[in-house]
Amino acid sequence: MGRGARGPSMHDVAALAGVSHQTVSRVLNGFEGIRPETRDRVLEAIERLGYRRNLAARSLATGRTGVVGVLSPDNPTYGATSSLFAVEHAVREAGLQPLITTTSGLPESVESALEFMYGRAVEALVIMAPSRSVLEVHDRMGVEVPTAYLLTGDERGRWSVSADQSKGAEMALQALLAAGHTAIQHVRGPLDSTEAQLRSDAYSRFMAQNSLARLPILEGDWSPQSGFDAYVRLDPRATAVFCANDQMAIGLMHAASVGGRWVPDDLSVVGFDDIPEAAHTLPPLTTVRQSFREVGTLAVALLTAALEGREPPDVEPLMPILVERDSVGPPGERKRSW
Amino acid sequence: MGRGARGPSMHDVAALAGVSHQTVSRVLNGFEGIRPETRDRVLEAIERLGYRRNLAARSLATGRTGVVGVLSPDNPTYGATSSLFAVEHAVREAGLQPLITTTSGLPESVESALEFMYGRAVEALVIMAPSRSVLEVHDRMGVEVPTAYLLTGDERGRWSVSADQSKGAEMALQALLAAGHTAIQHVRGPLDSTEAQLRSDAYSRFMAQNSLARLPILEGDWSPQSGFDAYVRLDPRATAVFCANDQMAIGLMHAASVGGRWVPDDLSVVGFDDIPEAAHTLPPLTTVRQSFREVGTLAVALLTAALEGREPPDVEPLMPILVERDSVGPPGERKRSW
DNA sequence: CGGTCGGATGTTACCGTGAACATCGTCCGG
DNA sequence: CCGGACGATGTTCACGGTAACATCCGACCG
């Protein structure tokens, strides 16, 4: 194993500045009792040598790594990625180091990803767990570092950071109801997904509360293709569909158009997430926007508080926003001629 | 600075197994000359104590970190993120540690991201530089680790890994030409972007080679909104548009529909990238697929070869694939009644 | 005017690992 | 029967920081 070229060390800096290495250490760590003149000499020596401190040595001496593990799904969706990048930024901002590791979600993949991070001595974790199985693996491996959860709905109580999924779903459904729809069907996300479950539960609750007949819930996998496929399984009576995300809504609108049904005249559709494309589908998609970046930032705030021994802030679920565009219209058989 | 709880060390393992710490080290590093019986005793002790080696200490002793820095745009687009995740996976697979750092692309952001990574003593870099300014900052900071470039077209010669942008653009244009279009306009990506430049150059070349009049090149920023905005600036003579990515194509098709022009009857559109939504736009988008994951994997192969002192493999630009769907039709004034 | 105190800085030990070198026993050949 | 070689393992040191403690020196006080 060839050893890397080593840069200058504290001792080199100390020698150049005519002080001891400990004084250099004190300067770097912002110690108080240092004569300004000495500090300047040290800083100049650092500058001259292009010195960078060796974090491995520091970590070895202090027993701390400052590494925050981030487990992310390896699926490049807009929402998850937005949150991921917000987490990355916030972690770095907090003076810590993000260790982003992706997983397909299969148990062995989750396990190897977590094993990798534990092997790196992470001091905190952000688990972006779109599916419950990820949580199960994590629980089974039982490690003790502070952990925040994203994409898990409210599964983990105060450690779960998320937008209010139920409220969001309600907003979407309310938009349909307000337009006059009563035969509303739901295309949910994967059974395994906690967020999909919350939205789906909200659907059932909403229908019950408004004394509407609950049509069979169709299952998709978040992909546009699965939305497309869901269309043919739609109940003929349905005049409106609440899709659990925008991508499936896009696929479903495509299928509707192939099937000769026009959105919003023959079928109303709402999505969830407000991905950038949602404003430009045909027709532009009415959807529910959630602030992905905000949940990422909040999760890190939770962890830094825990790491510094402060009381973690209470995280209220974030309020989503209904974005009304053109995919919702009144029900009825106003078939457009084409 | 409170010191973290320290786990068992090699010495603890050694004591339990009745050997010296060096023997433990040898077992862990797969040394040859160890009696099987001794090895087993050591492994059992490791198991019993739940020992994990301290990478900080290892790194300090060897002078190596095994960290590969990955600079990524903080823009959660499908393509960049796909490559990013492929890089992450490949780096980990190679026994190294990815250090993913995002940047907005603004010089000070790029600089702080690079500074962060250099401070972590990265041994190699993957720079995902959608814009030339990122490269400039990187060059200015002048560091010597092996560096692979993504999203830069062929800017960096053999160190640039990418799909063949020119060929891809040609394929897109050829599809339009084959359908009978001669008045083809181009909506390019940002001026600063090397990939946009390559596609744009390919457009100019293609038009010249086929003796077609080059219509003014419009500039977008990759977003659907910018594609939408470009529509009104379209030349009235244009019967077809080559958009430099799918998102802009989506926005442009939206605008066309608002403007009462039908795709593909009144206007043909091709995109670039083949994002998952492209198969489900109205109409489904003809586009050029490039293998984002593959370029990510290849970039890492390049770096691991360099790190191990092997001759880096020659990386041929990857061949993109034309995906023909329904957004291209023959030119003409066959306005669809609606 | 000497002792003490406190601020500024130096000295030493230690963190956990890997590398170089030392040691020990055994086997084999002269 | 002894010495060298070799295989298996142990010992020591270095890596580059931080923490604890030691030291030095000037100022202030009794």
* pLDDT given at position B314: 83
Rounded to whole angstroms, the Cα distance separating A294 from A319 reads 11
* pLDDT given at position A3: 40
161-180 in B: which are within 8 Å (CB) of A? none
Tell me whether A271 touches chain B (CB under 8 Å): no
Q: Where are the alpha helices (DSSP H) in B73-215?
A: 78-93, 107-119, 132-141, 165-178, 194-209
**pLDDT for B250-263, tens place per residue?**
999 999 999 999 99
Rounded to whole angstroms, the Cα distance separating B51 from B11 reads 11
Of A160, A187, A149, A174, the closest CA to residue A72 belongs to A149
187-226 in A: which are within 8 Å (CB) of B? 223-225
* pLDDT given at position A337: 41
Q: Identify the DSSP state of A331.
A: -
Say which CATH class B67-163+292-318 falls into.
alpha beta
Whether residue A254 and residue B64 make contact (CB cut-off 8 A), yes or no, is no
For the CA atoms of B172, B174, B176, B178, the dihedral, rounded to the nearest 10 degrees, stands at -150
Task: Find, in chain A, the residue whose alpha carbon is nearest to that of B116.
Answer: A92
Whether residue B120 and residue A228 make contact (CB cut-off 8 A), yes or no, is no
Which residue from A5, A121, A254 is facing B55, i.e. has the nearest CB? A121
57-86 in B: which are within 8 Å (CB) of A? 57, 59-60, 62-65, 74, 76, 78, 81-82, 84-85
Q: Helices then strands (H, E): number in chain B?
A: 12, 11
* CATH fit for domain B165-290, picks 2.40.30.110, 3.40.50.620, 3.30.70.1350, 3.40.50.2300: 3.40.50.2300
Q: Check: CB of residue B192 under 8 Å from CB of residue B133.
A: yes
Show pLDDT as tens, one digit a residue, over chain A (338 residues): 334 568 899 999 999 999 999 999 999 999 988 999 999 999 999 999 999 999 999 999 999 999 999 999 999 999 999 999 999 999 999 999 999 999 999 999 999 999 999 999 999 999 999 889 999 999 999 878 999 999 998 888 889 999 999 999 999 999 999 999 999 999 999 999 999 999 999 999 999 999 999 999 999 999 999 999 999 999 999 999 999 999 999 999 999 999 999 999 999 999 999 999 999 999 999 999 999 999 999 999 999 999 998 888 888 899 999 999 999 999 875 444 44
**pLDDT for B4-53, tens place per residue?**
568 999 999 999 999 999 999 999 999 988 999 999 999 999 999 999 99
Q: Check: CB of residue B208 under 8 Å from CB of residue B265.
A: no
* pLDDT given at position B312: 84
| Chain mean position to CA A255 | 29
Residue B283 or A143, more confident: B283
Q: Check: CB of residue A4 under 8 Å from CB of residue B123.
A: yes
Indicate if the pLDDT at residue B332 is higher than 80.
no
E strands present in chain B:
67-73, 97-103, 124-128, 147-150, 160-161, 184-188, 218-219, 240-243, 268-270, 287-289, 321-323
CB neighbours of residue B304 within 10 Å: 20
Domain A165-289 homologous superfamily, CATH: Response regulator (3.40.50.2300)
> Nearest nt (C1') to B20 (CA)?
D10
Give the 3-state secondary structure of residue B329.
Answer: coil
Retrieve residue A49's tokens.
């040598």
CA angle A123, A125, A126 (to 5 degrees): 155
Q: Check: CB of residue A128 under 8 Å from CB of residue A71.
A: yes
Dihedral sign, CA of B200, B202, B206, B209?
positive
Provide the positions of strand D that have an atom within 7 A of a protein CB: 7-12, 14-20
Size of interface A-B (CB pairs under 8 A): 160
Give the 3-state secondary structure of residue A236.
Answer: coil
In a mutational test of the B interface, the residue from A280, A308, A325 whose CB has the highest number of chain B CBs within 10 Å is A280
* Amino acid letter for position A29: N
CATH number for the domain running over A67-163+292-319: 3.40.50.2300
Domain spans of chain B?
A: 10-53, 67-163+292-318, 165-290
Residue B41 CA to D1 C1' — how many Å? 37
Q: Check: CB of residue B49 under 8 Å from CB of residue B12.
A: yes
Q: Identify the DSSP state of A277.
A: G
Whether residue B89 and residue A74 make contact (CB cut-off 8 A), yes or no, is yes
Question: Does B29 contact strand C, using a CB cutoff of 7 Å?
Answer: yes
Tell me whether B296 touches chain A (CB under 8 Å): no
- Region class of B3: left (phi > 0), else alpha (psi between -120 and 50), else beta: beta
Which residue from B63, B121, B257 is facing A282, i.e. has the nearest CB? B257
Residue A2 CA to C28 C1' — how many Å? 36
CB neighbours of residue B319 within 10 Å: 12
* pLDDT given at position B4: 54
Residues 6+ apart with CB under 8 A from A306: A124, A146, A312
Task: Find, in chain B, the residue whose alpha carbon is nearest to that of A80.
Answer: B76
Q: Check: CB of residue A273 under 8 Å from CB of residue A246.
A: yes
For the CA atoms of B18, B20, B23, B25, the dihedral, rounded to the nearest 10 degrees, stands at 120
How many CA atoms within 13 Å lie on the side-chain side of A322?
A: 18
Rounded to whole angstroms, the Cα distance separating A147 from B165 reads 42
Q: Identify the DSSP state of B268.
A: E
Same fold, B67-163+292-318 and B165-290: yes
Q: Check: CB of residue B185 under 8 Å from CB of residue B241.
A: yes
Rounded to whole angstroms, the Cα distance separating A188 from A218 reads 6
* pLDDT given at position B32: 86
* pLDDT given at position B171: 98
In a mutational test of the A interface, the residue from B1, B3, B141, B277 whose CB has the highest number of chain A CBs within 10 Å is B277
Q: Say whether domain A10-53 belongs to CATH 1.10.260.40.
A: yes
> Nearest nt (C1') to A51 (CA)?
D16
